[in-house]
Chains A and B, each alone.
Chain A
Amino acid sequence: MLELRVNGVVREIAEPPVGRTLAETLRDDLGLTGTKLACGEGHCGACTVQLDGVPVLSCITLVHTVAEREVTTIEGLRDHPLVDAFVRADALQCGFCTPGQIVSAAALVEAEPELTRERVRHAMAGNLCRCGAYPRIEEAVLTWRD
């Protein structure tokens, strides 16, 4: 049995096989499908979750390494003001990368409340969006408190 803390709740899962990723566990064992898998090898950012408030790529994070830590997924951030900011700014098109974008952005605005455009462009460059909603994402992250 493995115990995980996800979005403030303790979850128990049957002992996972060696090599099981956090993303697989979240999606397949815990039903938290808001975390998306788009590349599965740490290149695109769609699977971003927070570990103790720091964004990590859950598709290349082994679930056995996070047992003692606080995992925050998009499901734990669904009332974050960034969600409204993204919708208001039209910062999504197909929306497949969006949960990962918001999880990354939530960690960013928490760590650095006073953001500049350049800082957003630097910090968010690991979250790919093929629809190209980037200008709106930038706007949403800069105006999330409005």
Chain B
Amino acid sequence: MARLIRTEKEVEGRYTEQWIVVEGDDAIDQWPEGPGKVVGQPAPRQDGHQRARGQAQFTADLQLPGLLHAAVLRSRHAHARVTKLDLSGALELPGVLGAIGPEDCHVLQTEPGFHGAPIAAVAAESFSRAREALARIEIEYEELEPLLDPEEAVRRGSLHDEPRRYERGDVDAALAGADVVVEAEYRTQTVLHNSMETHQSLVRWEGDTLEVYISTQFIWGVRDSISQQLDLPPDRVRVVCNYMGGGFGSKNGPGDYTYIAIALADRTGRPVRCALTRREENLATGNRNATIQRIRAGARSDGTLVALDGEFVNAVGWAGWSGPTYGPMEMLYACENLRTLTHGAKLNLPPNAAFRAPGFVEGTFGLECLLDELAARLELDPLELRRRNHADADLVDGRPFSSKNLLECYRRADPHWARREEVRRRSEGPIRRGTGLASQIWYGGGGPPSYAGVRVGSDGYATVLTAMQDIGTGTRTAMAQIAAEELGLPLDRVRVSLGDSARGTYASVSAGSSTTPSMGPAVRAAAADAARQIVEIAAQRYHLEVRVLSLQDGRVVSADGGSWPLEEVTGLLEDAQITGKGARGPNPTGMRVLTFGIQVAEVAVDVETGEVRVERIAAIHDVGRVINPLGAQSQVEGGIIQGIGHTLSEERLVDPRRGTVLTQTLDAYKLPTIADVPEMAVELLDIPDEHLTNLGSKGLGEPPIVPTAAAIVNAIRDATGADVRSLPVTREEMLRALAEAREREKKLAAAPA
């Protein structure tokens, strides 16, 4: 029977109430802790060969008969008014079939508010012809004064929403009574996702249905947005994404390109591809916005935090949202007196977008560096300081944690932390070595609704059916492992069919570290439903009781020792199939579901040149049960490497007067390469969260990038005594911090005792 449940849904700290429908019995006990036969065993990705051989068809590789190619005219100015737009020159060029402007498509703008804002677009027989046509569009601008400074935006009240205020306890009194107070301003830069596959869509009308082939993290979100925008019944929009070349948070919606493709398809009557170039990717597809963080911490001499106070400015850009830069400060430690104030500045800069733990990466950098400044002031071990301020329950809303093993993460960090004397001793000449650490807190519990089906054929092979997406994280393989475990099948007898809203059930977004914790329980429930049916059929066929039968190693096994190949039972169906259905049940009511961890970084700083090299990072994270240890480790390593890029090399640069983006290519915007990778030691606790679903798994896409920057910068302080407070740590910033530290030393030495 279908059960209707009213439940609470949390997306990155925001709670809403909603209805979900759960069919049948979702109350399946979790598997015992530790690896099973398939779950918890390392599994190479099932689509690995297709991807490695270049046979996987990404959106970028799809062809449709009659396909046209779009190119987009984007604003050259950060703030301007279009005073003249004449598309006729573009349309005169042979092979150009359509051109559109702001009157034809709601995403095209007459008053562009950022460099790269879309103004017009054309569709042509080839992409190069479309680009040529753009040059023939006559456009004139009246340039307007761009607002680029986030502090100035706050002063002028140019904000995306009302300033966010949060307070608990009495901060001023606590600061006044503290034994020590440390205070600093931290800044983080704007960084770009730069997924290898650029943002793109192909659209075509198939009868009364709009087909959208898109590189996306959320098939169902794209379907809903388009159906609402176009006023179409949702099922008249079919969204397909079978293979996807990276998103990191920037591909959760249709973007401007999908609507441009739709408008040009309407105009020309032909299928249209709108694929952004790398340069457009660096302008108009979102970013992790810059932040300014003025933060203070007050503590007793034993290290107990008595007050935390933070003012945060998020440089959001022209559109987007003001993210939870305040989150780590409010959530990470047991501090009873706490106040945050957050502004989301509206600027003439490209809009932000979610980027792998948005807000928390930035906020953790400030908070965890400040904590090390406090530890230095108190002459206290930084790890001990964190232990002393461990939060046993959530202080924001007083909820217990569904599970929290951060102290165990700290314990396992001990041997890595214990290397620091030896690391420092390896300093030689201008190369100074040091060790730093930082804690991690983030969401990652996932939630309903999500649905899945499992189909078991007469040959005893199974297929998981659900319209989720695998954005490169390996969820296709993880879902197959979960179904195989439940069906007692070897992994090579289970496949996953995903990526098509017309051919599968509603599925979770692949963002917020939620795919595995949202989809996994639904897949397990569906597999359990199929397994139940198989056992019931076998019981009738062999005249046994259901309770003595189970599925193991591809066989139906009886407690009395008899067993039959699965296909002998399912073969009774001839060519037909057994189908199981499963739903994601609710999250535990009244509990906080979060992920935790710690990273320990070792760095070498050349104090003459300012070069920083990360030599080693140990990462220990608590993300519940691990489904695929091989893929999980890869994802943690990838998160750390992105974190290293964020810390040392990546920065979007803007002309400070005009607001135009200067770093539009991958030689100007410095991504980490294979030569930048340190030694890494990754440990996942693999302790199931007993309160969370039938799996006990949380997500792990985001946790590994959260503490990396702070751990590295704290290691720099340990190595050199220099306080780096701004990212990225370019040589210039490193040399500035070193000079400042030398000045401080000098003053200290000169001061009367």
State A83–B639 Cα separation when bound (angstroms). Answer: 24
Given contacts A94-B244, A122-B675, contact A133 B634 (CB under 8 A): yes
Chain A binder among B51-59, B78-86, B402-410: B51-59
A-side contacts of B193, CB under 8 Å: 130
State A90–B51 Cα separation when bound (angstroms). Answer: 11
Residues A78 and B666 in contact, CB atoms below 8 Å apart = no
Q: Does A74 contact B (CB under 8 A)?
A: yes
State A27–B277 Cα separation when bound (angstroms). Answer: 16
Residues B52 and A87 in contact, CB atoms below 8 Å apart = yes
B-side contacts of A40, CB under 8 Å: 277-278
A-contact bits for B643-676, CB 8 A (1 contact / 0 none): 0000000000000000000000111000111110
Residues B245 and A96 in contact, CB atoms below 8 Å apart = yes
Q: Does A55 contact B (CB under 8 A)?
A: no
Residues B277 and A133 in contact, CB atoms below 8 Å apart = no
State A121–B195 Cα separation when bound (angstroms). Answer: 22
Q: Point out the residue from B471, B637, B674 that lies within 8 Å of A124, measured CB to CB.
A: B674
B-side contacts of A134, CB under 8 Å: 637, 641, 672-674, 677
A-side contacts of B53, CB under 8 Å: 34, 74-75, 78, 83, 99
Given contacts A38-B197, A44-B196, contact A33 B54 (CB under 8 A): yes
Question: Separation in Å of the A146 CB from the closest CB of chain B?
Answer: 14
Chain A binder among B41-49, B437-445, B453-461, B715-723: B41-49
State A35–B58 Cα separation when bound (angstroms). Answer: 12
Residues A95 and B52 in contact, CB atoms below 8 Å apart = yes
Nearest A-chain residue to B195, judged by Cβ: A130
> B194, B196, B246 — which one has the most chain A CB atoms within 10 A of its CB?
B196
> A74, A121, A134 — which one has the most chain B CB atoms within 10 A of its CB?
A134
Residues B674 and A130 in contact, CB atoms below 8 Å apart = no
Residues A136 and B634 in contact, CB atoms below 8 Å apart = yes
A-side contacts of B471, CB under 8 Å: 94
Residues B638 and A93 in contact, CB atoms below 8 Å apart = yes
Q: Does B320 contact A (CB under 8 A)?
A: no
Residues B248 and A130 in contact, CB atoms below 8 Å apart = yes
Q: Does A127 contact B (CB under 8 A)?
A: yes
Q: Point out the residue from A36, A86, A128 that lies within 8 Å of B673, measured CB to CB.
A: A128
A-contact bits for B6-50, CB 8 A (1 contact / 0 none): 000000000000000000000000000000000000001101111
State A125–B637 Cα separation when bound (angstroms). Answer: 17
A-contact bits for B519-556, CB 8 A (1 contact / 0 none): 00000000000000000000000000000000000000
A-contact bits for B254-282, CB 8 A (1 contact / 0 none): 00000000000000000000000110000
Given contacts A46-B196, A130-B195, contact A39 B52 (CB under 8 A): no
Question: Separation in Å of the B709 CB from the closest CB of chain A?
Answer: 15
Interface residues of B in 216-257 (CB under 8 A from A): 243-246, 248
Question: Separation in Å of the A115 CB from the closest CB of chain B?
Answer: 13
Residues A86 and B52 in contact, CB atoms below 8 Å apart = yes
Q: Does B631 contact A (CB under 8 A)?
A: yes
State A33–B61 Cα separation when bound (angstroms). Answer: 6
B-side contacts of A13, CB under 8 Å: none
Residues B638 and A131 in contact, CB atoms below 8 Å apart = yes
Q: Point out the residue from A36, A73, A90, A95 that lies within 8 Å of B634, measured CB to CB.
A: A90
> A27, A78, A94, A131 — which one has the most chain B CB atoms within 10 A of its CB?
A94
Interface residues on B, range: 35 or more
Given contacts A132-B640, A133-B638, contact A83 B52 (CB under 8 A): yes
State A130–B246 Cα separation when bound (angstroms). Answer: 8
State A94–B701 Cα separation when bound (angstroms). Answer: 13
Residues A39 and B278 in contact, CB atoms below 8 Å apart = yes
Question: Separation in Å of the B174 CB from the closest CB of chain A?
Answer: 41
Q: Point out the residue from B48, B246, B277, B675 that lies within 8 Å of A131, measured CB to CB.
A: B246
Q: Does A41 contact B (CB under 8 A)?
A: yes
A-side contacts of B671, CB under 8 Å: 128, 130
State A98–B677 Cα separation when bound (angstroms). Answer: 18
B-side contacts of A36, CB under 8 Å: 54, 58, 60, 196-197, 245
Residues A94 and B675 in contact, CB atoms below 8 Å apart = no
Q: Point out the residue from A44, A88, A95 that lies within 8 Å of B56, measured CB to CB.
A: A95
A-side contacts of B44, CB under 8 Å: 87-88, 90
Q: Does B198 contact A (CB under 8 A)?
A: yes
State A93–B634 Cα separation when bound (angstroms). Answer: 8
Nearest A-chain residue to B682, judged by Cβ: A135
A-contact bits for B181-199, CB 8 A (1 contact / 0 none): 0000000000001111110
Q: Does B474 contact A (CB under 8 A)?
A: yes
Residues B51 and A95 in contact, CB atoms below 8 Å apart = yes
Question: Separation in Å of the A83 CB from the closest CB of chain B?
Answer: 5
B-side contacts of A27, CB under 8 Å: 61
Residues B58 and A96 in contact, CB atoms below 8 Å apart = yes
Nearest A-chain residue to B58, judged by Cβ: A96
Q: Does A137 contact B (CB under 8 A)?
A: yes
Interface residues of A in 88-106 (CB under 8 A from B): 88, 90, 92-99, 102
A-side contacts of B639, CB under 8 Å: 132
Q: Does A54 contact B (CB under 8 A)?
A: no
Q: Does A120 contact B (CB under 8 A)?
A: yes
A-contact bits for B288-307, CB 8 A (1 contact / 0 none): 00000000000000000000
B-side contacts of A129, CB under 8 Å: 196, 674
Q: Point out the residue from A74, A78, A86, A94 that lies within 8 Å of B196, measured CB to CB.
A: A94
Q: Point out the residue from B45, B248, B278, B635 that lies within 8 Å of A87, measured CB to CB.
A: B45
State A93–B477 Cα separation when bound (angstroms). Answer: 12
State A126–B474 Cα separation when bound (angstroms). Answer: 25
Q: Point out the residue from A92, A127, A130 that lies within 8 Å of B52, measured CB to CB.
A: A92
Residues A95 and B55 in contact, CB atoms below 8 Å apart = no
> A34, A39, A43, A97 — which one has the most chain B CB atoms within 10 A of its CB?
A39
Q: Does A37 contact B (CB under 8 A)?
A: yes
Nearest B-chain residue to A77, judged by Cβ: B53
State A122–B674 Cα separation when bound (angstroms). Answer: 8
State A50–B680 Cα separation when bound (angstroms). Answer: 32
Nearest B-chain residue to A85, judged by Cβ: B52
Q: Does B102 contact A (CB under 8 A)?
A: no
Given contacts A96-B245, A130-B196, contact A39 B675 (CB under 8 A): no
Nearest A-chain residue to B470, judged by Cβ: A94
Q: Does B630 contact A (CB under 8 A)?
A: yes
Interface residues of B in 463-483 (CB under 8 A from A): 471-474
State A125–B677 Cα separation when bound (angstroms). Answer: 11
Question: Separation in Å of the B129 CB from the closest CB of chain A?
Answer: 10
A-side contacts of B56, CB under 8 Å: 95
B-side contacts of A35, CB under 8 Å: 54
B-side contacts of A86, CB under 8 Å: 48, 52
Question: Separation in Å of the A90 CB from the closest CB of chain B?
Answer: 5
B-side contacts of A135, CB under 8 Å: 637, 677, 680
Question: Separation in Å of the B751 CB from the closest CB of chain A?
Answer: 46
State A85–B642 Cα separation when bound (angstroms). Answer: 24
A-side contacts of B630, CB under 8 Å: 90
Nearest B-chain residue to A17, judged by Cβ: B128
A-side contacts of B634, CB under 8 Å: 90, 93, 133, 136
- 24 pairs from A and B in contact (CB 8 Å cutoff): A34-B53, A36-B60, A39-B666, A40-B277, A43-B665, A44-B666, A73-B54, A90-B630, A90-B631, A90-B634, A92-B45, A92-B48, A94-B197, A94-B471, A96-B246, A96-B472, A98-B51, A99-B52, A124-B674, A126-B673, A130-B642, A131-B196, A134-B637, A137-B674
Question: Hey, which bits of chain A sit against chain B, CB under 8 A?
Answer: 27, 33-41, 43-44, 46, 73-75, 78, 83, 86-88, 90, 92-99, 102, 120-122, 124-138
Question: Hey, which bits of chain B sit against chain A, CB under 8 A?
Answer: 44-45, 47-58, 60-61, 193-198, 243-246, 248, 277-278, 471-474, 630-631, 633-635, 637-642, 665-667, 671-675, 677, 680
The 3 A-B residue pairs whose C-beta atoms are closest, nearest first, are: A34-B54, A94-B472, A95-B51
14 extra interchain contacts, Cβ-Cβ under 8 A, other than A36-B54, A87-B49?
A: A33-B54, A38-B278, A39-B666, A94-B195, A94-B196, A94-B244, A94-B471, A95-B48, A99-B54, A120-B674, A130-B194, A130-B642, A136-B637, A138-B674
